[in-house]
Amino acid sequence: MTPLLSVRDIRKTYGSHVGCTDVAFDLYPGEVMGIVGESGSGKTTLLNCLAGQLTPDQGQVVFGTREAGPRDTLQMSEPERRMLRRTDWAFVHQHARDGLRMNVSAGGNVGERLMAVGARHYGDIRDSAADWLGRVEISEARIDDRPTTFSGGMQQRLQIARNLVTNPRLVFMDEPTGGLDVSVQARLLDLLRGLVRDMGLSAIIVTHDLAVVRLLADRLMVMKDGHVIETGLTDQVLDDPQEPYTQLLVSSVLQV
Ligand SMILES: Nc1ncnc2c1ncn2[C@@H]1O[C@H](COP(=O)(O)OP(=O)(O)OP(=O)(O)O)[C@@H](O)[C@H]1O
């Protein structure tokens, strides 16, 4: 099987400080990769390099595009990358306000993504938006309301609907359940797990919450000081960690 994403030799420094280095892995279609590690280990830096939001100092990120097959996204022009972000890629931010347009209605937030990929028929767009609101457990009656009137959990579910409505090939998620109440997190996680399974999503999820990767990720990368120090199947890494650092992480001794 051809990988959906092939990452080679990624390095990103901030001056003399290493953000992440020596990162290489393949992600296959339908696979969910979790990236875990304590605060400052380089998770977000890596995710942003992979998602084209940060330019690494070196490396390759070859992605299987729908339109033109495998392409090194780091060699693309900015307009090409922008197009990818609107079509094949999706990015779920930790803070829903970073991924939503807060002064546009819930239906508009979802419909806008469809229009960006060419949908023009108002009735169809509204129907899809209503359908997606239902899929993320937001009442259709709220379709004309702005996200500012939603709870944090609802905003996050709306952000997920906005991201998934166009059927992206790869979803990047940065702490998707972070900053929410514990009970809200559990519900969101459950919803995400259902969507990942039903849609056969390919995703890369950064989190410090091992419960999130336990439920969602097929494979794990553990990061420390900008390096990937352990990789493997999620259950294998969490149940039988090989590296002392991973053992600390799993036993919750580290503050992550
Ligand atoms: N814009 C920046 N300028 C300088 N150093 C940075 C910058 N962004 C991140 N770093 C440093 O790079 C390292 C990796 O940071 P990064 O945010 O990727 O870690 P993280 O694992 O995502 O942490 P957190 O879970 O707290 O978000 C850290 O030492 C951080 O201080």
One-letter-per-residue 3-state SS of 47-115: HHHHCCCCCCCEEEEEEEECCCEEEEHHHCCHHHHHHHHHCCEEEECCCHHHHCCCCCCHHHHHHHHHH
Going by C-beta distance under 8 Å and a sequence separation of 6 or more, which residues neighbour residue 248?
254
Segment 83-121, tens digit of pLDDT: 899 889 999 999 999 999 999 999 999 999 999 888 889
Segment 26-78, tens digit of pLDDT: 999 999 999 999 899 999 999 999 999 999 999 999 999 988 999 999 999 99
Q: Where does ligand 1 bind, in terms of residues with CB under 6 Å?
A: 14, 17, 19, 37, 39-45, 208
Cα radius of gyration (the chain)? 18
Q: Is the pLDDT of residue 181 over 90?
A: no
Pocket test of ligand 1: the residue of 11, 12, 17 to mutate, having most ligand atoms within 8 Å of its CB, is 17
DSSP state of 26: E
Q: Which atom of ligand 1 is nearest to the CA of 20?
A: 14
User: Is there a contact between 210 and 36 (Cβ–Cβ < 8 Å)?
Assistant: yes
DSSP string, 230-255: EEEEHHHHHHS--SHHHHHHHTT-S-
| Beta-ladder partners of 36 | 222
User: Is there a contact between 214 and 234 (Cβ–Cβ < 8 Å)?
Assistant: yes
- Which CATH number, 3.30.1600.10, 3.40.50.300, 3.90.550.10, 3.40.50.2300, labels domain 1-83+168-176+201-256? 3.40.50.300
Domain extents in the chain = 1-83+168-176+201-256, 89-167
